Amino acid sequence: MSFLEKILDKKLKRYSETEKHLKNFPLVSISGEQSIKLKQELMMRISSRREIKEETGFEKYIEKIKILAQAINPSEYFRVLLKEKLMIFAEYDRKRKLFRLRRVKFVFHWMQPRKVVAVVTMAVFVCTAFFGFAFDIEEVKAALFTELENVQGEVTVVRNVQEIPGIKGLRLKKDDVIRTGKDSRAAIRFLDSSMSRLDENGEVRISKLAANPRNNTETVVELVLNQGRLWSRVINLINKSSHFQVKAENTVAVVTKKAAFDVSVEPQGKIKVAKVSAIKNQVDVVVASSRTVTETTLIKGFTAEVKSNERSAVAQIKPEKIDTEKDTWITENLVEDEVYIEGVKEELHEQVRDQVKISPDNPLYSVKELSESVEIALTFDSLEKQKKLLIIAQEKLAEAQLLIEKGSYEKAAALLREFQDKIQKAFEWIQEHEEDPDKATEIEMKLQEILSMYKKQLALISPDDSLYEVKGIVAETETSVTPDPVKKTEQQMDQAAEKLIEAHDLAEKGEAAKAALQVEAYQEAVAQVADEVKALPLETKGEAVSVLLDAKTEGLKLLEAVAVPPVPVSEITEGTDVGASPLEISVSAAKTETLKHMGETILETQSGKTSFNVLQTLENINKKDLNGKALLNVQVSPNRVTIVSDKDYILVTPQAEEMRGAVEEQDEKAAAGGIVSADASENVGAVTEENMSTPPTADLKSQVLPRLQP
């Protein structure tokens, strides 16, 4: 080996040690996953650069297309509704699979030491395997739709300029136009269970159809009558946010609860005449001209005609009484309505029966209850648990209804208590979870949905129906889970008003005595609400009083609509009693009480100054119209309240409390005899403009004047 080679060899030996170390040194490299990710990112960057550079020569068009397309989005209503549907579908799907899985896990866990429990549990699961469809806790929701319920003759539906033959069962959509030919009619059933019938040579457009996807008892139906005659029957709207409306020219007729009304549009030369007639209950009518808007409420038996031409609309409402019996269109529709309502009641019964998977009197019912308890126990998420408990509560109510129909009142009462108990617990859960608003809101909305659904179903139940008690329970439950005192006042007054609607329906059937009882029930309910409002703290009292006053004003309108059919002149003989019937006396007393309460309520809130809410409400009350005339005129001054209503004149002062006993006695005598007593008549005067402008005399200052007889 040469000298050079020896030196190289020596150096190589030194490096070989280093080489060994290097070989043993752990290699630093990226993992397979990291490598793939890096590659993807690189590829994306490369392609994005290529895309940015890409020029099509149509950049302006592309930009515009992007901008225009951004405006195309599904409606909020559709988005929410579809999501709800998908969630229910997915949840149902999930439960079916999960329940089977949990069954297997549960059985194996409990097998060895607890054989008895295992056997029982196995028995439950075996039953559920066979009857799984019956024991699943799932919701049943009715579908909402609008369709042609019936057709007669030539009926066409125009949809997006295309004409479709109008056949029975055809589902209708927003913006559809329904046309009837000669001797033809079309009956339309709406998503809120209302019904309209279009007479021959008519045309009506559906301008709005909407339902709140979270609570489908909140509905809006709006129609535009272009020509012809349209009968409408609204049977069970229950929320303030729901309404049914028919527009004819510049006139709009709106119903927010229950009513039967007729709208027509007829050309008379160059002028078109729109006519609205209230046949049952009441209809709000609004007429707009280029300069003014006129509003009134028509009660049954009154019609208003409005004339308009192309240049201007004559916004005048001249209500007149109509003889409903002479108009065959009205009488025929009333008869058909009765058939329709019976059909709807039967459908609702079916829905209730569908909700009941196993009847309480079935031997397997206890197994079903056990299965439900097990499912609840296995649900660890508190929100999911609460949802299931609410579904069970819903089922209890349906089961109670079924039992009542079968005559098992005691068992039904127990189920109703369970229903109330579960609802109350849900309410408490909401209060406990206030710090988690998402969850609390979800359960609250579910709760309101259930109560509203039953309220709507039971709106058709009259006091002589066996299910009337259930209606009362639902109403009571609704107010018990309303923490806000103002909202509670609103609900209670709404429930009270429902009694007047029931009274109206009973009177229509000829059951005047029962109708009178309902009017008295209304008075009691209102008195109770008034007492509760008095006890409220100052910060909420003003608003509650406004709600109360507003509701009482609406109550006065409803009282006008409650009337016994008059005795025809031809039937009056010597012995015919044409004096005041018990119903008339009840209605009269209720009106007086309402006006007195209104006056006292206003005085109560004064305490030096009237709250802004109350002032605002009084201003609105003074604008309210009934059959084209002012409903009330309320004048407030520091020490008295004067209310004038048609021929009634009520004066309330702080001293009136002491005088109440005496005046009430006089009132009773006056009401019983149907005439004003001699003593009281000294203090009673006809309401003239002179009277109203002159201040009351010293004698009258501290008196509540009894009601004038016509």
The nearest distance, CB 384 to other proteins, in angstroms, is 11
Residues 507, 515: contact at Cβ < 8 Å? yes
Strand partners, 463: none
Cα–Cα distances in angstroms (integers) from residue 421 to residues 54, 71, 246, 392, 531, in the given order: 68, 48, 42, 11, 27
Written as six digits, the tokens of 587 are 């209605």
Q: Give which of 508, 537, 502 is closest to 520, Cα–Cα.
A: 502
Query: Shortest CA distance to 430 belongs to which of 376, 484, 498?
Result: 484
**Complex with other proteins: residue 61 or 130, whichever CB lies closer:** 61
**CB-CB contact of 213 with 252 (8 Å):** no
Going from the C-alpha of 591 to that of each of 68, 575, 582, 588, 628, the distances in angstroms are 60, 29, 14, 5, 19
CB 479 within 8 A of CB 448: no
DSSP state of 57: S
Q: Which lies closer to other proteins via its Cβ, residue 91 or residue 199?
A: 91
In the complex, minimum distance from the CB of residue 53 to other proteins, in angstroms, rounded to a whole number:
13
Least distance between other proteins and beta carbon 450 (Å): 21
Q: How many beta carbons lie within 10 A of that of residue 686, not counting itself?
A: 9
User: Based on C-alpha coordinates, what's the Rg of the chain?
Assistant: 36
Between 73 and 688, name the residue whose CB sits nearer to other proteins. 73
Nearest to other proteins of 82, 692 (CB atom) = 82
**Measured from the CB of residue 431, what is the shortest distance to other proteins in angstroms?**
25
d(CA 584, CA 674): 10
Query: 64 or 168, CB closer to other proteins?
Result: 64
Q: Could you tell me the smallest distance in angstroms from the CB atom of residue 62 to other proteins?
A: 5
Distance of alpha carbon 645 from alpha carbon 365, whole angstroms: 58
Least Å from the CB of residue 361 to other proteins: 35
Shortest reach from residue 284's CB to other proteins, in Å: 33
Amino acid at 300: K
Q: In terms of CB distance, is 82 or 672 closer to other proteins?
A: 82
| DSSP H helices in 407-484 | 409-432, 437-458, 468-480
Shortest reach from residue 144's CB to other proteins, in Å:
14
Residue (73 or 290) nearer to other proteins, CB:
73
Quote the distance between the C-alpha of residue 53 and its chain's center: 58
Of the chain, the end-to-end C-alpha distance in Å amounts to 146
Q: CB of residue 36 vs other proteins: minimum separation in angstroms?
A: 9
Helix axes 512-534, 485-508, angle to 10 degrees: 170
CB of 426 to other proteins, least distance (A): 21
Q: How far is the CB of 707 from other proteins (least distance, A)?
A: 57
For residue 439, count CB atoms less than 10 angstroms from its CB and return exposed for 0-12, middle for 13-18, buried for 19 or more. middle
Question: How many whole angstroms from its chain centre is CA 347?
Answer: 19
Q: How far apart are CA 396 and CA 398, in angstroms?
A: 5
Residues 559, 565 contacting (CB under 8 angstroms)? no
Question: From the CB of residue 519, how many other CB atoms can be counted at a distance below 10 Å?
Answer: 28
Of 594, 422, 605, 423, nearest to 493 by C-alpha is 594
- Rounded distance between C-alpha atoms, residue 387 and residue 410, angstroms: 27
Task: Please give the Cα distance from 219 to 444 (Å, whole number).
Answer: 19
- Of 47 and 637, the one with the shorter C-beta distance to other proteins is 47
Q: Specify the residue, 88 or 126, whose C-beta has the smaller distance to other proteins.
A: 88
The residue among 72 and 143 lying less far from other proteins, judged by its C-beta, is 72
Pick 56 or 570: Cβ nearer other proteins: 56
Summarize as ranges the residues that interact with other proteins (CB under 8 A): 41, 44-45, 47-48, 56-58, 60-62, 64-66, 68-69, 71-74, 78-79, 82-83, 85-87, 89-91, 93-94, 97-98, 160-161
CA 350 vs. chain centroid, Å, equals 21
Q: Report the nearest approach of other proteins to the CB of residue 77 (Å).
A: 10
- In total, the chain counts a number of residues equal to 710
H or E stretch at 198? strand 195-198
Kindly tell me which of 80 and 364 has the beta carbon lying closer to other proteins. Answer: 80
What CA–CA distances, in Å, run from 633 to 254, 290, 624, 645?
24, 27, 9, 6
Distance CA 467, CA 673 (A): 37
Q: If you ran DSSP here, which 8-state letter would residue 471 be given? A: H
- Nearest approach, Cβ of 52 to other proteins (angstroms)? 10
Nearer to other proteins, 90 or 167 (CB): 90
Between the CA atoms of 602, 604, 610 and 612, what dihedral angle is there, to the nearest 10 degrees? -70
- Which residue type, as a one-letter code, is found at position 411? K
In angstroms, give the least distance from the CB of 74 to other proteins: 4
Report the residue number, 51 or 310, with the smaller CB distance to other proteins: 51
- Closer to other proteins by Cβ: residue 323 or 438: 438
Interatomic CA distance for residues 18 and 6, integer angstroms? 19
Kindly state the tokens that stand for 339.
């058939």
Tell me whether residue 83 or residue 417 sits nearer to other proteins (CB atom).
83
Token pair, residue 419, equals 């229903």
Q: At its nearest, how many Å lie between other proteins and the CB of residue 162?
A: 9
Residue closer to other proteins (CB basis): 56 or 112: 56
Question: What DSSP element (H or E) covers 302?
Answer: strand 302-308
Q: How far is the CB of 63 from other proteins (least distance, A)?
A: 8
586, 681, 706 from 650: Cα distances, Å: 18, 14, 8
Q: How far is the CB of 87 from other proteins (least distance, A)?
A: 5
